[in-house]
Amino acid sequence: MFDQRFIRNFSIIAHIDHGKSTLADQLLLKSGAITQREFREQILDDLDVERERGITVKARAVAIHYTLDGQEYEINLIDTPGHVDFHYEVSRSLAACEGALLVVDAFQGVQAQTVANAYAAIGCDLEIIPVLNKIDLPVTRIPEVMEEIESVVGLDTSNALKVSAKAGIGIEDVFKAIVERIPAPKGKPDDPLRALVFDSKYDHYRGVVTYIRVKEGTISKGQKIYFMKAGTAHEILEIGQFRPHMLPCEELGPGQVGYIVTGIKVLGNVHVGDTVCDYLRRPAAPLPGYEIPQQMVFCGMYPIDASDFEHLREELARMSLNDASFSFAADTSEALGFGFRCGFLGMLHMEIIQQRLEKEANVDLIQTAPNVTYQILKTNGEEVFIDNPQEVPDAGSITEFREPIAKVAFILPSDKIGAVMQMCADRRGVFVTTEFLGPQRAQLVWELPLAEIVFDMYDKLKSITQGYGTMNYEIIGYRAADLVKMDILVKGERVDALSTIVHRTSAERRGRALCKRLKEEISRHQFEIPIQAALGARIIARETISAVRKDVTAKCYGGDISRKRKLLEKQKEGKKRMKQFGSVEIPQKAFLSVLDTGNDE
């Protein structure tokens, strides 16, 4: 067990692409935790999807041993994601730390997630060290960026660190600042054991591997422990730290971060935010856990092959163990059969989960168009939450249809304010404030319906601002709006997986655009296929896919015209019969075409 006076726990927080993972790589390299031969970019990003996209999705913990002035220190680093969809991962990591490095790009300066993550760290009462990264760039704005940090985040930058994680400049100063400025963890080794579960993952051979941060007491191999929330007891088979690979040890004391293996095979027995204590000597109260994350985007996931249903259920359970902000429940659709209704924090989160299921778990999926959660006040006074358009009650029993509203902060170049204002106004936004962060940059705050944000607003913002604009949002509540459920009928039959909730003013435009898209996606059959958009019983848009027509008179040359007529009549009869029995094949792309109708005129 390490003397806790010489332990430091810290997180690296920043906006996406400001160099968190690169700085973590350098800290590992300089401390000797990894050799130059083992070194590679983003060494802590071990998921395939993270390496492919160049982003961090999961928070990772690693213990570094570093010697300063003859004294050895144990520094526990928790690397966190930067994208708004993974803000929950960041909040969990901060609860396991006493300090944080706030990394800011020396050219781009303070961005939307920089502000959100800094406020989260201030809320956890952490010691925050500002770090200006990428100082070796040919163009930097160091004085302006330091001024931005002071005015926007409210941190003193007189002793901010100037580093280049890529070139390895200033890394020694970072270690020195961590040791001198971040406080040592509190807690006594002799107190009853209380350890916080901040993450977990499933290992096919050893069961659930639980990541813990010991707050008080000591935890050792062979000890019988108790999970306070789950109410289950287990014996510790292995205990260890991440250095950065799993390294077994005998015990962990207050302030130390590591993992325990207890042979748990039931996925529901481990909860993120649970408290681990000694089975015989239980503390008076558990540690304060985490707020349950609010999933805001829902979609259906159905196996292409119906026999994969159970396999998909197991893989979703493993995924939800590794990612507490993801949820799923069994669902059924007339068009797609049995599947699951899954909840996510945002669109990128949804894409990542889908990619991991297809690559890591080898499951072929059909995914329906995502939608957000709505609140409905019924005529009988009952309030219900709806995350599936099929669950919307009849219009006659609805008093008020409410949609989630988000407060969105944009940080962008000042010459792009007009274009972003127009984009927000087109999406039914309500303007709140404008604030100038300097001569070139401004912060805009708008209140917007979440449904207008999650699908394509981030991409639109990037294209309007040439990549310089960033955004961060938080849900502030529900507001009444004139919303309706739009159904899609293919050959007169309602396709439940294509139903969507839209604002009445844009229903006709969306309906026309969607019918057009489906006409392009659905291939021609040997009979005519009408595609219709409907609000209740009223058809608001229609497109028709014409039938494939075989030339049955090709072999008739010369002779009487009645012979040709007879063949054509016979074909007509056959088509009529086909129309009666023919079922239409709808491809996977068609289910996602519901998304692309945001700005179609």
Give the pLDDT confidence of 64-80 residue by residue, as tens digits. Answer: 888 888 888 888 887 66
How confident is the model at residue 446, as a pLDDT? Answer: 92
Q: Is the pLDDT of residue 600 over 50?
A: no
Q: What angle do CA 416, 419, 420 make, to 5 degrees?
A: 85
What's the rounded mean pLDDT across residues 180-206? 84
22 labelled as ligand-binding?
yes
Residue 356 CB: number of other CB atoms within 10 A? Answer: 20
Residue 435: band (very low, low, confident or very high) from pLDDT cuts 50, 70, 90: confident
Contact between 412 and 465 under an 8 Å Cβ cutoff? The reply is yes
Name the burial class of residue 577, with classes exposed (0-12), middle (13-18) and buried (19+) by CB atoms within 10 angstroms of its CB.
exposed
| Cross-strand pairs, 264 | none
Q: Is the pLDDT of residue 306 over 60?
A: yes
Q: What angle do CA 388, 403, 502 make, to 5 degrees?
A: 65
SS3 356: helix
Residue 84: band (very low, low, confident or very high) from pLDDT cuts 50, 70, 90: low
How confident is the model at residue 499, as a pLDDT? Answer: 82
How confident is the model at residue 318, as a pLDDT? Answer: 79
Contact between 19 and 137 under an 8 Å Cβ cutoff? The reply is no
295 vs 164, residue with greater confidence: 164
Residue 517 CB: number of other CB atoms within 10 A? Answer: 21
Share of the chain above pLDDT 70, in %: 85
Question: Would residue 5 be called left, alpha or beta, if left means φ above 0 and alpha means ψ between -120 and 50 degrees?
Answer: alpha
Residue with tokens 């002779």: 559
Contact between 587 and 519 under an 8 Å Cβ cutoff? The reply is no
488 vs 294, residue with greater confidence: 488
Question: Would residue 89 be called left, alpha or beta, if left means φ above 0 and alpha means ψ between -120 and 50 degrees?
Answer: alpha
| Pairwise CA distance, residues 392 & 387, whole Å | 9
Residue 471: band (very low, low, confident or very high) from pLDDT cuts 50, 70, 90: confident
76 labelled as ligand-binding?
no
21 vs 405, residue with greater confidence: 405
- Tokens matching residue 287: 């540690």
Q: What is the DSSP letter of 393?
A: P
93 labelled as ligand-binding?
no
What's the rounded mean pLDDT across residues 450-465? 81
20 labelled as ligand-binding?
yes
How confident is the model at residue 60, as a pLDDT? Answer: 67
Alpha carbon of 60 to those of 69, 177, 367, 490: distances in Å?
A: 28, 21, 29, 47
How confident is the model at residue 347, as a pLDDT? Answer: 75
Q: Is the pLDDT of residue 597 over 70?
A: no
Q: Is the pLDDT of residue 90 over 80?
A: no
Residues belonging to the chain = 601
Contact between 418 and 434 under an 8 Å Cβ cutoff? The reply is no
What's the rounded mean pLDDT across residues 354-371? 80
135 labelled as ligand-binding?
yes
Residue 236 CB: number of other CB atoms within 10 A? Answer: 19
Residue 447: band (very low, low, confident or very high) from pLDDT cuts 50, 70, 90: very high
3-state secondary structure 87-141: HHHHHHHHCCCCEEEEEEECCCCCCHHHHHHHHHHHHCCCEEEEEEECCCCCCCC
589: Cβ contacts below 8 Å, ≥ 6 apart: 521
- Tokens matching residue 410: 């944009």
Q: Is the pLDDT of residue 39 over 70?
A: no
Q: Is the pLDDT of residue 501 over 50?
A: yes
65 labelled as ligand-binding?
no
* Span 513-533, pLDDT tens digits: 888 888 888 888 777 888 889
| Pairwise CA distance, residues 596 & 376, whole Å | 26
Residue 341: how many CA atoms within 13 Å on its side-chain side? 19
What's the rounded mean pLDDT across residues 309-322? 82
Structural domains in the chain plus CATH codes: 4-181 (3.40.50.300), 194-278 (2.40.30.10), 297-369 (3.30.70.870), 375-480 (3.30.70.240), 485-597 (3.30.70.2570)
